[in-house]
Structure 1
């Protein structure tokens, strides 16, 4: 019985130590995720696609509205180059929720701002919601692994 009690105490101690250390990692991980979010939108607004693409996983999958899935970093880079060649962006990003589950993080964000055609015309007000899944890499960094987005209802209803 004494051995069982000692074993239980050891297990509880290990679990408690592990839980405490993961809380510290959670704080650091959330800060890293916030930096990635801010860096991606800055790079996107500046048209710096290479800086943006450096933050996504090699096997990333993006699912933009009204188009097929974009599979892989090179395909995503090509798609964004096309989008950037026709438009100028001034978008803010608001993180509404971040959840960590082991080596995966789930972020729900809102994008608000304007998109202006480089061909001229009035700026388009953009209001979209996005769900990103980020994966922790072997080196401890986080990368965007999956992303899906759509316009928010108010924008979709306006006919824009």
Structure 2
């Protein structure tokens, strides 16, 4: 495994940990300012600050628990793509039923002049997971 692939896998692990811990600034540091997120049924979300606003709102009342299995990382110079299988649980801070979404993601990353990889485009194909007996 190349150093770049290890760095991208570490970025994903850091993202999951920072999301779980509510460390919004750490999550934002992992993405390019012009990041673009694609999710089913919604218009594209453009920009780090737009993402931050949504994350701040969510974390006021809920916490995030996520697991990711990296299935593929391809590096070509200062660009890379990564395909993962992702599962996210959103748990109300005051108790109550959690919601879960799972599926695949396809992310494009760019290596900056500082040598750090950052997320620049992300297609998140997560769908609700049905809870048995509900």
> TM range, normalised to the smaller chain?
0.7 to 0.9
TM-score when scaled to structure 1?
A: 0.73
Unaligned 5+ runs, structure 1: 1-25
User: C-alpha deviations, 1:63-94, integer Å up to 9, x for none?
Assistant: 23332212111111112112222321111111
Structure 1 residues 128, 119: CA separation in 2 closer, same or farther (over 3 Å shift)?
Answer: farther
Answer with 1 or 2: which has the greater Rg: 1
Shift of 1:34: 1.0
Residue-pair matches, total: 132
Alignment of structure 1 residues 1-160 onto 2, 5 Å? 27-152=2-127, 155=129
Q: Which has the larger strand fraction?
A: 2
Which ranges in structure 2 are unaligned for 5 or more consecutive residues?
none
User: In structure 2, how many angstroms separate the alpha carbons of the residues matched to 1:123 and 1:71?
Assistant: 27
For normalisation by structure 2, the TM-score amounts to: 0.86
More helix per residue: 1
Distance 1:85 1:102 in 2: 39
